Amino acid sequence: MTTVSNNDLRKQFAVAMSAMYQQEVPLYGSLKALVERINSDELDNNTALVDQLIATRGLTRLAEERHGAIRLGTAKELSIIRRLFAVMGMSPVGYYDLSVAGIPVHSTAFRPLSHDDLSVNAFRVFTSLLRLDLIKDKFLCKKVEDVLSLRRICSSRLLELINQFESSGDFNQRDANKFIEEALNVFRWHQEAAVDAVLYQELLQQHPLIADIVSFKGPHINHLTPATLNIDRAQHEMPQRGLSAKAVIEGPPKRRCPILLRQTSFKALSEKVVFPTTKNNKGGISEENESALRSHTARFGEVEQRGLALTPKGQVLYDRLLCQTRARIIPDGDGNNAEQYNAILNEEFVGFPDDYHAIRQQGLAYFYFSVESKAVNNVMDNKHDIDSLIESGHVRVDPILYEDFLPVSAAGIFQSNLGVESTAEIAALSRQEEFERALGVAVENIFEHYEAIQKKSIETCLEFFTKK
């Protein structure tokens, strides 16, 4: 029987996840439809953009590209999720400490690594782990530990399939289908809470995100994110589709040469939840007990626009300009100062070049180099360095897309949809080593992978012309 590749399995899972989420959150379907129309218009009216996407193999994946986000409660859950995503060729990339922005979690992103794998399907899952050390109420913290110790997020059949894959290295289509079915259940929304209404309220008062992580049977997907080619237009048109957009787009300002990641979202839904009123002596939920019907607000829709991946030098410049902006103004959650914030953001980011040539010359970002088709049969001289090949028109240069995330932007999205403001009270020391111990592996270095993609593309071009 034919085996299913990591890439095909990830692609099938992403499609299934999107269908499930659209059924659970119908407004996500409206967001997808809006993004598809905007992208179609942008491609129809921008041939240079089309050429860029074709050269970097980004055009075919545009319609299906999205990322999701989940939140986990324990180290054991993080380890299991790492193994689950590894089946689909997704590795943990980067470490994000969101406590610096008042969110009691630290995170990584599971995604494919190589340029080839990303070109097939770039589905990513931003995965956060609750930091118990940031729960101030130690009595409440013990309750959280007790609840989470009873939770099992994966079925026995799913664990069997993961073990099977780790032993054999592949699935046939039948096993792949079963894996997708079982894996979807991990991320499915369950209306029945795992805690009673009293404990839920205690968790909610401590922090809404803690309530979202602890109160349910598993790490329900809390958003999926289609990719747009014009996020400003998406932001403007979302309210026309009944989507209440957040006041400010997170990330850098609008630019001729987009960098990193810009994100916006519509506000979280209020969903009905059944809370059991009491617990049995064993600490589990008694099926005979009466239930209280309440509501929970956490899941939302997000849209993103990705730009250039920055080098360490470029990232330092970006961080400095963003810090300078936020030293002057912090965007209000209600949008009262949105216009002023955007004006100041644009003022500060004048300090970041907005021209691809200048960005490359200053070493601020990574680029993908490819042989120009019209130059393949041209007569070459002896100048085989990459700059000469670019200058002579034999090699084209395109931006490498940023595949990762921004801690401040992620925190801003979380805060907007959880109804909390940023606070320094919860900030604490980074716990990357502790996170990686829970994960079972070290996270991949973001910059090293972009550097490797750029280096390989240069070597491929030089090798081509050296052999001519």
Which tens digit of pLDDT belongs to each residue from 251-300? 999 999 999 999 988 876 788 888 886 544 444 444 444 456 678 877 77
Following CA atoms 161, 164, 170, 173 in sequence, which dihedral angle do they give, to the nearest 10 degrees? -40
Give pTM, 2 decimals.
0.86
Instruction: Record the tokens describing residue 301, joined without a space.
Output: 């829709």
Note whether 108 and 94 are within 8 A (CB): yes
Report the share of the chain in percent with pLDDT over 90: 55
Q: How far apart are CA 159 and CA 163, in angstroms?
A: 6
pLDDT of residue 43 exceeding 80, the answer is yes
Q: How far apart are CA 5 and CA 140, in angstroms?
A: 45
Q: In terms of Cα–Cα distance, which of 262, 271, 248, 443 is closest to 330? A: 248
Domains and CATH numbers, the chain: 3-309+366-466 (3.10.180.80), 310-362 (no CATH)
* Residues 257-270: tens digit of each pLDDT: 999 999 988 876 78
Instruction: Record the tokens describing residue 59, joined without a space.
Output: 């055009």
